[in-house]
């Protein structure tokens, strides 16, 4: 890789992590440098490639620069349950820093560029930067909060559940600047959404028809457009508190 490309990637990381962690609490200059210095090389994954597999103990954690990824587990019958969706700026795999071996796998949902953070460098951060450590910890706690909301949402009917997923993605994408004109690119098939919602692909299609019939959103050609945000939120029982997007001192 050329020095220039590396420099571009470092700039991307700086911008994305800045948006992400600064969304929780202000980073000092020293902290910003510390996290940048912790970054290792970057890698490109094709859609459907596993970034990490269950049972492995990677010695690095990954941050998404662009593209979509998901964490998932599978039943014995081979049914896949996606437990979280990840978008640019997400520290997908910070868990593997402390939680070994992996209890789940991570897959690229689209082609996906990621930055690797070697665990030994993250450890240095925990030794020298307590405030930054708390922000990284917080980052994993927000993931847990998403899991809890997803558990609750399993109680909704398919249509409401689908709407809720879209609401969550809409706000998270907005936080990293990936929304324009109330629309976002959604490079995901209905079958994959089925694995997120825990229902069959056929039923995703029917749930989608309900949401379309209510004219809450459109989803065509890999583009989702929100038509009526307030109505969509109400239909989805969506309360964004669990995303923890407001800044509070930590």
**Which residues are at the interface with a second copy (CB under 8 A)?**
55, 71, 73-76, 79, 81, 83, 95, 98-101, 103-104, 123, 126-127, 130, 133-134, 137-138, 140-145, 147-152, 154-156, 198, 237, 241-242, 244, 248, 250
Q: How far is the CB of 42 from DNA (least distance, A)?
A: 25
Positions touching DNA (CB under 7 A) are 157-158, 189-191, 198-203, 205-209
Give the one entry of DNA, a second copy, none that residue 115 binds, where binding means its C-beta sits below a cut-off of 5 to 8 angstroms depending on kind. none
Q: How far is the CB of 248 from a second copy (least distance, A)?
A: 6
Query: Nearer to DNA by C-beta: 181 or 220?
Result: 220
N- to C-terminal Cα separation, the chain? 38
Query: Nearer to DNA by C-beta: 25 or 210?
Result: 210
Give the one entry of DNA, a second copy, none that residue 66 binds, where binding means its C-beta sits below a cut-off of 5 to 8 angstroms depending on kind. none
- Encoded tokens for 18: 């800045």
Query: Nearer to DNA by C-beta: 36 or 185?
Result: 185
Alpha-carbon span 92 to 118, nearest angstrom: 14
Alpha-carbon span 200 to 180, nearest angstrom: 31
Name the residue with tokens 């995703």: 204
Q: Is-contact 209 203, C-beta < 8 A?
A: no
Q: Is-contact 88 65, C-beta < 8 A?
A: yes
For 161, phi and psi rounded to 5 degrees? Answer: -65, -45
């Amino acid at each position: 890789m050329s020095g220039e490309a590396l420099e571009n990637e470092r700039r991307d990381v700086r911008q994305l992590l800045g948006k992400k962690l600064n969304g929780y609490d202000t980073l000092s200059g020293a902290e910003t440098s510390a996290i940048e210095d912790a970054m290792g090389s970057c890698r490109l994954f094709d859609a459907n490639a596993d970034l990490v597999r269950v049972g492995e103990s990677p010695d690095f954690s990954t941050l998404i620069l662009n593209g979509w990824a998901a964490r998932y587990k599978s039943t014995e019958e081979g049914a896949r349950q996606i437990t979280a969706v990840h978008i640019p700026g997400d520290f997908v795999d910070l868990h593997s820093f402390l939680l070994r071996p992996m209890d789940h796998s991570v897959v690229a949902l689209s082609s996906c560029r990621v930055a690797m953070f070697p665990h030994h460098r993250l450890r240095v951060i925990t030794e020298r930067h307590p405030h930054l450590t708390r922000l990284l910890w917080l980052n994993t706690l927000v993931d847990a909060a998403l899991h809890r909301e997803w558990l609750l949402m399993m109680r909704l009917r398919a249509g409401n559940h689908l709407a809720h997923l879209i609401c969550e993605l809409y706000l998270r994408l907005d936080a990293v600047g990936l929304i324009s004109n109330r629309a976002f690119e959604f490079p995901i098939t209905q079958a994959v959404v089925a694995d997120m919602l825990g229902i069959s692909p056929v039923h995703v299609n029917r749930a989608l028809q309900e949401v379309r019939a209510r004219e809450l959103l459109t989803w065509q050609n890999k583009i989702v457009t929100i038509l009526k945000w307030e109505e969509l939120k109400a239909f989805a029982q969506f309360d964004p508190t669990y995303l923890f997007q407001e800044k509070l001192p930590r």
